[in-house]
A and B are shown apart, each in its own frame.
Chain A
Amino acid sequence: MFRLYAAAAFLGLILPSGFVNAADIDRSKPPETPPIPNVKLPNIERFQLPNGLSVVAAEDLRFPLVSFRIAFLAGSKYDPKDLPGLSDNVAALLNQGTSTRNARQIAEESADLGGDIGAASSSDTLTIFGSCLSENTSRFLALLADVARNASFPDDEVQLQKQNRLQTLRAERSQAGYVAREALSDALFGPHPYSHFGPTEQALAALNKAALQSFRDTYLAPNNAFLIVVGRLPSKDDLKKLVTEQFGSWQQKTLPAYQPPPIPGNAKKLILVDRPGSVQADIISAHIAPTYGSPEFFPLSVGEMVLGGGTNSRLFQDIREKRGFAYDAHAENNSMKETGVVSAVTEVRNEVVEPAVEALNADLTVLSKQDVTATELTDAKDSYAGRFILRLERQSGLAEQLVRVETNGLPKDYLELFTTRVRSVEPDQIRATGKYWAPDDATLVIVGDAQKIQKSLEKVGTFELKKPKQ
C-alpha cells in the first residue's frame, strides 16, 4: 500500500486524504522512497573583467547574507622547492595587515560588516574566504580587495606566524596520521610538486618577508583568480560596477610557466615509518586515480562509498565489526586538478597488524573481481548524492562547490548534473575502477613502532624502513 502511495506522490498525483491508514503500512522495513532528487541551482551569472578576473555570481535570496571566495591557482604545488609551506604561510598572513590596515582594523571592520575574512591553501589553490550582511556588500568587497591586492606582511606578524606555525607543525608531526600522509605524498608523487605536503622546520626558519612578497607578486593576479559571490546580490550590472571599482585597476601579470614532471604511475611500494612508542599501527593503502572530468570519476566515487563510505561499508563491516581489529576503517577519494588519490585507511592494534593488512588487501581485491550488490549500489549512491546535496544548504557550501568547478575547469552544468551522474552509475563501471584499489600496485604506508611490528610485517613483503621527517 505504501509503495503505491510513494509512487503516486512522485508522479504528482493528488491523493484523497486518508488514502493511507496507519494500520495498512508495513512497519517492519523502511518505506520505499522516490529516487534521489535533482538539485535546482540558483541563477548563476559569469563575467570577466578586462584584466582577466573571472567572476561567478550565484543568487541566494533566502537571507540578507553574501559569501565570497577569491580562488587563486596558487596552492602548495607552486611552493619553491626549498620553501615548502610558502603558499600556506601567505594565506595565513593575508588578513594580518595591508598597506592601509593593521590586523586589528581588518578584524574590527569585518565584524562591523557582519562577517569575517581569512584564507587557506590546498594543493592547487590559495583561497580567500569571507562573508557579510548583504547591505554591506560594497564595503566588504573593498576590504576583500585590499587583502587580496595589498597584503603587507608586517614584520611582527611574520615573526609570530613563524613561531606559531612551528608549534603547530610539531604538534601535527606528533600525530601518526600526519606522519603517514606526509610519507604517502612523497611516495606517490616523488618529483611532482603534489608531493608538497606541509612546511618543514627548515623552511619555516628560512621564511621571510621577501619570499612572501615574491609569492604574492607572482601568483596573486587577477588573470589567475576566480571571484565567487553567493547570496542576496545587487543586480548584475551593479555587481559588475562594484567589482570593477575594487578590482578593475589591478594589473594583469605574466604568470610563470607551470611545467610539472608527469604524474608517476602506480607501482607497488611498501613503506614502514618508524614511530617508537606507537601503541597502534596507522595503515594507508593508496593509488593514483582518475579525477574530476574523467568518465571514471563517478563510478570510482560510488565504488569508494561501497568500499569505505561509512558504517555500512565493506571495510568498516569487515575490519571493525567482524574482526575487531580497529575502531575505524574507511576509504577516501582526494581529487585534485591534475589527478586524484584514492586510499583505504585504518589504525589497528600492534598485535594484529599483519592479519589486518591481509584482510584489507582481500577487501580491496574484491571490487575488481565481482559486481557490487543491488543494495550496496543503492545505498552508496544515496549516501554519496545525499552528502553532496546537504552541503549546498549553506552559502559557504555552494561557494566551495563553485570554487571546485571553476578552478578545475569543469563544465558549467557540473553541479546541476551531479545527482543524475551518480544515479546513472552501473555495477560494471564500478568493477572497471576496481583496479584503482588493487593491492598489487598499491603504495602501502604503515606508521608504527618498527621494533614491535616489523617482524610480523615480513610476511606481507619487504618494507622500506624510514624515519619520520624532522
Chain B
Amino acid sequence: MFKALATLTLCALALPAAPANINIPIEKYKLDNGLRVILSQDNTLPVVAVYIVYDVGARSEERGRTGFAHLFEHMMFEGSANVKKGEHMRYVESNGGSFNGSTHPDYTNYFETMPSNKLAVALWLESDRMRSLAITPENLTNQKEAVKQERRLSFDNQPYATAIVDKWPQLAFQNWQSSHSLIGSFEDLNAATIEDVSKFFKTYYAPNNAVLTIVGDIQIGEAKKLVQTYFADIPSQPQPKRPDLAEPTSNSRAKSEVYKDVLAKVPGVVIGYAGPPRGSDDFYAMVILDALLTGGDSSRLQQDLVKGKKSVVQYQGDLGWPFAAADDYKSPGEYATFLVYKPNFQSNQIVDQYQDEVARIQKEGVTAEELHRAQTLLLSSKLNQLQTSLGRATLLANFEVLDGAPEEINSLLGKYEAVTAAQVQSVAKKYLSPNQRVVLAIQPDANAKPNAATNPQGGR
C-alpha cells in the first residue's frame, strides 16, 4: 500500500489525476498440502466468488502433448467421484450462481460466483474435481471429439482464426514452448492415452500447483475452516518442472509473412513487437501507450486511420494479444495489434501507416491531455472491473500465480497514474522499432486450401 501512496504523491504534482486509493483486503496463506489460499472479505453484498487457478497453461505443454491444457478444461466438467457428468452446471445454476473455465498460455482457471450462503457448495464442487476427476476412457474419447469439434467451429471455420492461433505464434516466438499451437494438433489429441492424461492431471492439478481465491461475503475464520474441510486432505505431488520460455536474443528479428485465408472476405494484418518484462516500469508505460493508440473512440488509430485515412475498419491490440491481456501478460510476450482494412489498400501501406503513428510518438511524444485521457480510461475500466467479486478474484489470482504478489492489486492503479509522457515516448522508441517488427498479413483467397486442422509444429 505504501507504494501506491508514494506514486500517487508523485503524480499529484504532474496532473490532476484521481486519487486511486483503493485498499482491497488480502489474507494469504498456504495449506499443508501446498494449496495457496487468498481470502478477501467484503460484506457489502451477499455474493462470493470462488476462483481456482492451476499453474499450467498451453506454454507448459511438452512436445507430443499439445492441446492437453485445453483438453483438461473440458475434462474438468465431465464429473468426479461425487458429481456426475453435467451436474456441475446444474448445481451452480440451481443454487443461483454462474460459472466458467478457460485455458490461457500460462494458467488455467475455473470459477463460480454464488450467493454467499452457497460458498460451501462451490468449495465442494471444486474440491471434488481436484480430488477425484473422472478420467475414464469414455470421457476422454468424448472430450477429444468435443475439442476437435470446437476447433473446427471456432477456429478452422472462422476467418483469421487459424492464422492468428497457429501461424502468429510461430512467427512471433522462436522457443517451441511459445510457438506451438495453443489449441493443439489433432494428431497429439488422437494419440493421448488415459495414462498420459492421468499423469498430466496428477502433476498439474495437484493442490501444490493451484491457487484458491475466495472474494466477497465471507467471514475469514469460517472460510478458513471450510477450505480446510474440503481441500486439506487432497495429497500434494512433487512440484512440476516449469517450462523454459527464454527466447534467443537477437538484434534484428524483423519478419514478414503472408497467410492466404479461404474464409476471410476483408484483408487483415497483425503487427507485433517483443514486449517489456512484466511488472517493469516499461510495462506500465507500454499499457498506457496501448491505451493511447487503441483505447476508445478518441484513440490515435480510431481518429487517424479509421476516420482520417479511412483505411482501417477495425483493430484490437494488447500486451500478450491474442491470448492474454496486460493483466495476465507474462514475459516473454508480444505487444501486438491486429488491423482489418479496406481492400483498396495493401498490407505494407497499413503497416507503414501504423508505423508512422508510432514514429510520431517516438519523435514528438504525447500531449499531457492525451496522456491524461489514456490514464483516465484505464483507471475507470479497472475500477469497473474491481466492482465485482469475480473481477477482484481474477486480478488477485493473476498476481499470485504470475508474480507471487496478490497485494499488487492495491498498487496497480498508482503505477498506471505514475507513468509520464517521457516514459511513453521512451517505450515507443525502445520497443516499437521496425527492426524488431513481426508482420503477418492475412489475405482473402477463395482458392486457398482450407484452414488446416493439423499443425506441423504440433506433432512429435
In the assembled complex, the CB of A331 is this many whole angstroms from the nearest CB of chain B, namely: 14
- A339, B415: Cα distance in complex, Å: 51
Stretch at the interface among B94-102, B314-322, B340-348: B94-102
Q: Establish whether residues B380 and A393, one from each chain, have CB atoms under 8 Å apart when the complex forms.
A: no
**Chain A residues within an 8 Å CB radius of B124:** 27, 30-31
State which residues 249-273 of B face A: CB under 8 Å.
Answer: none
Which residue in B81, B90, B372, B387 is a CB contact (below 8 Å) of A311?
A: B90
The answer to whether B233 has its CB under 8 Å from any CB of chain A is: yes
**Chain A residues within an 8 Å CB radius of B457:** none
The answer to whether A133 has its CB under 8 Å from any CB of chain B is: yes
In the assembled complex, the CB of A383 is this many whole angstroms from the nearest CB of chain B, namely: 5
**Chain B residues within an 8 Å CB radius of A389:** 45-47, 96, 115
Q: Establish whether residues A386 and B388, one from each chain, have CB atoms under 8 Å apart when the complex forms.
A: no
State which residues 271-329 of B face A: CB under 8 Å.
Answer: 296-298
**Chain B residues within an 8 Å CB radius of A311:** 86, 89-90, 93
Stretch at the interface among B186-194, B223-231, B349-357, B433-441: B223-231
Q: Establish whether residues A112 and B387, one from each chain, have CB atoms under 8 Å apart when the complex forms.
A: no
Q: Establish whether residues A114 and B82, one from each chain, have CB atoms under 8 Å apart when the complex forms.
A: no
Which residue in A36, A113, A131, A387 is a CB contact (below 8 Å) of B117?
A: A36
Q: Establish whether residues A31 and B121, one from each chain, have CB atoms under 8 Å apart when the complex forms.
A: yes
Q: Hey, what's the 0/1 contact readout for A351-389 against B, CB within 8 Å counting as 1? A: 000000000000000000000000000011011111101
- A42, B22: Cα distance in complex, Å: 19
Q: Establish whether residues A22 and B380, one from each chain, have CB atoms under 8 Å apart when the complex forms.
A: no
Q: Establish whether residues B377 and A114, one from each chain, have CB atoms under 8 Å apart when the complex forms.
A: yes
- A29, B128: Cα distance in complex, Å: 11
Q: Establish whether residues A393 and B389, one from each chain, have CB atoms under 8 Å apart when the complex forms.
A: yes
Q: Establish whether residues A135 and B19, one from each chain, have CB atoms under 8 Å apart when the complex forms.
A: yes
Q: Establish whether residues B118 and A111, one from each chain, have CB atoms under 8 Å apart when the complex forms.
A: no
The answer to whether B379 has its CB under 8 Å from any CB of chain A is: yes
In the assembled complex, the CB of B207 is this many whole angstroms from the nearest CB of chain A, namely: 13
Which residue in A30, A111, A392 is a CB contact (below 8 Å) of B91?
A: A30
- How many of chain B's residues touch chain A, expressed as a range? 35 or more
State which residues 377-410 of B face A: CB under 8 Å.
Answer: 377, 379-380, 383-384, 386-389
The answer to whether B376 has its CB under 8 Å from any CB of chain A is: yes
Stretch at the interface among A59-67, A189-197, A402-410, A431-439: A59-67
Q: Establish whether residues B388 and A383, one from each chain, have CB atoms under 8 Å apart when the complex forms.
A: no
Among B46, B47, B125, max chain A CB count under 10 A is at B46
Known interface pairs A111-B373, A386-B115; A22-B232 also in contact (CB < 8 Å): yes
Which residue in A38, A113, A114, A134 is a CB contact (below 8 Å) of B46?
A: A38
- A29, B89: Cα distance in complex, Å: 15
Q: Establish whether residues B98 and A133, one from each chain, have CB atoms under 8 Å apart when the complex forms.
A: no
Q: Establish whether residues A25 and B229, one from each chain, have CB atoms under 8 Å apart when the complex forms.
A: yes
The answer to whether B171 has its CB under 8 Å from any CB of chain A is: no
Q: Establish whether residues A382 and B387, one from each chain, have CB atoms under 8 Å apart when the complex forms.
A: no
- A34, B119: Cα distance in complex, Å: 10
Q: Hey, what's the 0/1 contact readout for B351-376 against A, CB within 8 Å counting as 1? A: 00000000000000000000011001
Q: Establish whether residues B380 and A133, one from each chain, have CB atoms under 8 Å apart when the complex forms.
A: yes
In the complex, which residue of chain A has the Cβ closest to the Cβ of B296? Answer: A111
Q: Establish whether residues B94 and A17, one from each chain, have CB atoms under 8 Å apart when the complex forms.
A: no
The answer to whether A115 has its CB under 8 Å from any CB of chain B is: yes
- A310, B86: Cα distance in complex, Å: 13
Q: Establish whether residues B93 and A383, one from each chain, have CB atoms under 8 Å apart when the complex forms.
A: yes
**Chain A residues within an 8 Å CB radius of B297:** 104, 107-108, 111
In the assembled complex, the CB of B166 is this many whole angstroms from the nearest CB of chain A, namely: 29
- A42, B43: Cα distance in complex, Å: 12
The answer to whether A267 has its CB under 8 Å from any CB of chain B is: no
Which residue in A63, A108, A385 is a CB contact (below 8 Å) of B298?
A: A108
Which residue in A27, A115, A310 is a CB contact (below 8 Å) of B128?
A: A27
State which residues 71-116 of B face A: CB under 8 Å.
Answer: 81-82, 86, 89-91, 93-98, 113-116
**Chain B residues within an 8 Å CB radius of A134:** 18
Which residue in B115, B225, B228, B379 is a CB contact (below 8 Å) of A390?
A: B115
In the complex, which residue of chain A has the Cβ closest to the Cβ of B127? Answer: A27
The answer to whether A465 has its CB under 8 Å from any CB of chain B is: no
Q: Establish whether residues B120 and A33, one from each chain, have CB atoms under 8 Å apart when the complex forms.
A: yes
- A64, B21: Cα distance in complex, Å: 9
Q: Establish whether residues A390 and B387, one from each chain, have CB atoms under 8 Å apart when the complex forms.
A: no
Q: Establish whether residues A65 and B380, one from each chain, have CB atoms under 8 Å apart when the complex forms.
A: yes
Q: Establish whether residues B387 and A33, one from each chain, have CB atoms under 8 Å apart when the complex forms.
A: no
Which residue in A31, A115, A384 is a CB contact (below 8 Å) of B380?
A: A115
- A383, B94: Cα distance in complex, Å: 5
Known interface pairs A27-B128, A37-B46, A386-B96; A20-B387 also in contact (CB < 8 Å): no
The answer to whether B447 has its CB under 8 Å from any CB of chain A is: no
State which residues 392-431 of A face B: CB under 8 Å.
Answer: 392-395
The answer to whether B424 has its CB under 8 Å from any CB of chain A is: no
Q: Establish whether residues B18 and A31, one from each chain, have CB atoms under 8 Å apart when the complex forms.
A: no
**Chain B residues within an 8 Å CB radius of A2:** 120
The answer to whether A11 has its CB under 8 Å from any CB of chain B is: no
Q: Establish whether residues A22 and B45, one from each chain, have CB atoms under 8 Å apart when the complex forms.
A: no
In the complex, which residue of chain A has the Cβ closest to the Cβ of B93? Answer: A310
The answer to whether B222 has its CB under 8 Å from any CB of chain A is: yes
**Chain A residues within an 8 Å CB radius of B45:** 39, 389, 392-393
The answer to whether A257 has its CB under 8 Å from any CB of chain B is: no
Q: Establish whether residues A64 and B298, one from each chain, have CB atoms under 8 Å apart when the complex forms.
A: no
In the assembled complex, the CB of A445 is this many whole angstroms from the nearest CB of chain B, namely: 28
Known interface pairs A19-B225, A386-B96; A33-B18 also in contact (CB < 8 Å): no
Q: Establish whether residues A29 and B298, one from each chain, have CB atoms under 8 Å apart when the complex forms.
A: no
The answer to whether A451 has its CB under 8 Å from any CB of chain B is: no
**Chain A residues within an 8 Å CB radius of B97:** 386, 390
- A453, B339: Cα distance in complex, Å: 45
In the assembled complex, the CB of B379 is this many whole angstroms from the nearest CB of chain A, namely: 6
In the assembled complex, the CB of B148 is this many whole angstroms from the nearest CB of chain A, namely: 19
- A304, B284: Cα distance in complex, Å: 49
Which residue in B90, B98, B120 is a CB contact (below 8 Å) of A31?
A: B120
**Chain A residues within an 8 Å CB radius of B98:** 390
Q: Establish whether residues B383 and A63, one from each chain, have CB atoms under 8 Å apart when the complex forms.
A: yes
Which residue in A20, A39, A65, A135 is a CB contact (below 8 Å) of B229?
A: A20
State which residues 107-159 of A face B: CB under 8 Å.
Answer: 107-108, 111-115, 131-135
In the assembled complex, the CB of A341 is this many whole angstroms from the nearest CB of chain B, namely: 24
Q: Establish whether residues A133 and B114, one from each chain, have CB atoms under 8 Å apart when the complex forms.
A: no
Q: Establish whether residues A35 and B117, one from each chain, have CB atoms under 8 Å apart when the complex forms.
A: yes
**Chain A residues within an 8 Å CB radius of B125:** 30
- A334, B117: Cα distance in complex, Å: 28
Other contacts beyond A33-B120, A63-B387, A390-B97: 17, CB < 8 A = A27-B81, A29-B82, A30-B124, A30-B125, A31-B121, A37-B217, A63-B383, A64-B20, A65-B384, A111-B377, A114-B18, A131-B384, A135-B18, A383-B96, A386-B96, A392-B47, A393-B389
- Interface CB pairs A-B, < 8 A, 29: A17-B225, A22-B230, A22-B232, A22-B233, A23-B233, A27-B124, A27-B128, A30-B91, A36-B115, A36-B117, A37-B115, A37-B217, A39-B46, A63-B387, A65-B387, A107-B296, A107-B297, A132-B380, A133-B18, A135-B18, A312-B94, A383-B96, A385-B96, A386-B118, A389-B96, A390-B97, A390-B98, A392-B45, A394-B387
Which 7 pairs from chain A and chain B are nearest by CB? A386-B96, A114-B380, A37-B46, A379-B94, A31-B120, A310-B93, A107-B297
| Contact surface of A with B, Cβ cutoff 8 Å | 2, 6, 9, 15, 17, 19-23, 25, 27-31, 33-39, 42, 62-65, 104, 107-108, 111-115, 131-135, 310-312, 379-380, 382-387, 389-390, 392-395
